[in-house]
Structure 1
């Protein structure tokens, strides 16, 4: 029964060992990252991240400004998407849709870095390169997996048009709440405040909620094993980030933080 449903919704697993291994690794590594967030082991560029003095490396690490670091995170993946239009120019409609939404996703990230977000810190160059490589490889793998899927007949249930709707709901909702977060801080002001407006009155991380919706949309468009594995891992990772974010606000603002505000899903989680 489960296998039959799998065949109905997804393309058959690809013949590529690389894509199969990446599907497993992406899901597991992202899920583990979310679990680590709940345990207080945060990403090195996170506002929650701090290194105890006793553990600081004696070797001076190269640092870059947050804006330049974030540009490095997203630009290579955007260029992979852009270049794929030329490399895979004779693909079917679904493949071109996958390339298009991934390119739009990272173009939006780059534009937010340049025009929306406000910065006051820095990150290590090593961290920026590591995360950038992850985004780039994931984007390339998803596009390549879609290319390989053309060897097979499409799934019985076609989800790509539902996926397009979900993708644009997700990307618009994510941008809207990023804009609210950006407006919380004036230039040069490093003080954090409790965000209000939009879904922030119900959950502390609506931008993550909409990012999950966005990637569910991408996986519905693709309907490949890799896309669903990556989306599942991303969902668990952002759940962990949301939990850590809520705990951070509770510890920082105490009774000023409304305890009824959930982490990610209104009234539930």
Structure 2
């Protein structure tokens, strides 16, 4: 065990009253050890704390890097921020994806009461219902059995923003307009070209998305936070084929729905967010892996961006 060093503690934002002004740790202690010590002193979960260096404001991740390797020395200053009450990422995903699974069948079943008339649904509306519900059931399955999260929790306040995206945009908004008797998807007989092209695109997108998630899962051990460079046909095409195939699936739903505008609203909102994540991931790959990572020509959409 190396000689301990003393770190000066300053609050970032609202002070944590139970934290001391300084702590001592061995220089060869890990960042995880530091977080554990701060957690014990503050009586907050390690996931609720964020530590940054006073010298340059850079984040010190809770991991296996040593305190010394982060650049901290005796009498260095660290800032500790309370991120607020936390909730598990897995729980957030389950809650987000659950609502559309119930909202769409509810609007479909209650169409006569919501819109009046007989409530009879067209082939396009029936197919859209199956496709949308199947998409979110798949999401729930992946959340419970496939995804491995690099971060254990997120601030609980974010669940409201995240849930609104799915509950309102892909839930109430899409369900209300797709199952309406005046909807473009209510046309019967359906436009066969749109319907079958949509089914084919949707199926390719869903299967490709599942395959991508399985590849990403195998890069990380259970409970670990290590990263690797994903390989495969789709990963050779774009940086983030999980986002690319997600877009393909929803374009398929749009075709199945008879080009219903509510699907476009959700697709644009989701696509913009995924584009931002894809750009960050490309930059992170280049930073973490350097020459080992072959930069992709396209980040998310082949031939476009």
With the length of structure 2 as denominator, give the TM-score of the two structures: 0.64
Q: 1:134 and 1:236, CA in 2 relative to 1: closer, same or farther beyond 3 A?
A: closer
**Secondary structure of 2:276's match?**
helix
Corresponding position of 2:90: 67
Q: Deviations over 1:200-248 (max 9, x none)?
A: 1232201111111101011111122222233234333323322221112
- State the distance in 2 between where 1:135 and 1:51 align: 32
Shift, 1:266, TM fit: 4.2
**Secondary structure of 1:123's match?**
strand
Structure having the higher helix fraction is 1
Corresponding position of 1:31: none
Shift, 1:151, TM fit: 6.3
Q: Kindly indicate whether the alpha-carbon contact (under 8 Å) linking 1:81 and 1:100 is maintained by their aligned counterparts in 2.
A: no
Count, aligned residues: 220
Q: Deviations over 1:27-62 (max 9, x none)?
A: xxxxxxxxxxxxxxxxxxxxxxx89788x9977622
Corresponding position of 1:79: 102
Larger radius of gyration, structure 1 or 2? 2
Q: 1:148 and 1:85, CA in 2 relative to 1: closer, same or farther beyond 3 A?
A: closer
Corresponding position of 2:148: 118
Q: 1:230 and 1:210, CA in 2 relative to 1: closer, same or farther beyond 3 A?
A: same
Structure number with the bigger relative contact order (C-alpha 8 A, sep ≥ 6) is: 1
Higher mean alpha-carbon deviation, 247-256 vs 84-93, is at 84-93
Corresponding position of 1:211: 246
Corresponding position of 1:143: 175
- State the distance in 2 between where 1:218 and 1:249 align: 32
- State the distance in 1 between where 2:89 and 2:268 align: 28
CA RMSD of aligned residues (A): 3.0
Matched, 1:182 2:212: no
Corresponding position of 1:37: none
Matched, 1:134 2:169: no
- Name structure 2 gaps, 5 residues minimum: 1-49, 58-78, 112-118
After the TM superposition, which parts of structure 1 deviate over 6 Å for at least 4 consecutive aligned residues? 50-54, 56-59
With the length of structure 1 as denominator, give the TM-score of the two structures: 0.71
Structure having the higher strand fraction is 2
Corresponding position of 1:191: 226
Q: Kindly indicate whether the alpha-carbon contact (under 8 Å) linking 1:97 and 1:221 is maintained by their aligned counterparts in 2.
A: yes
- Name structure 1 gaps, 5 residues minimum: 1-49
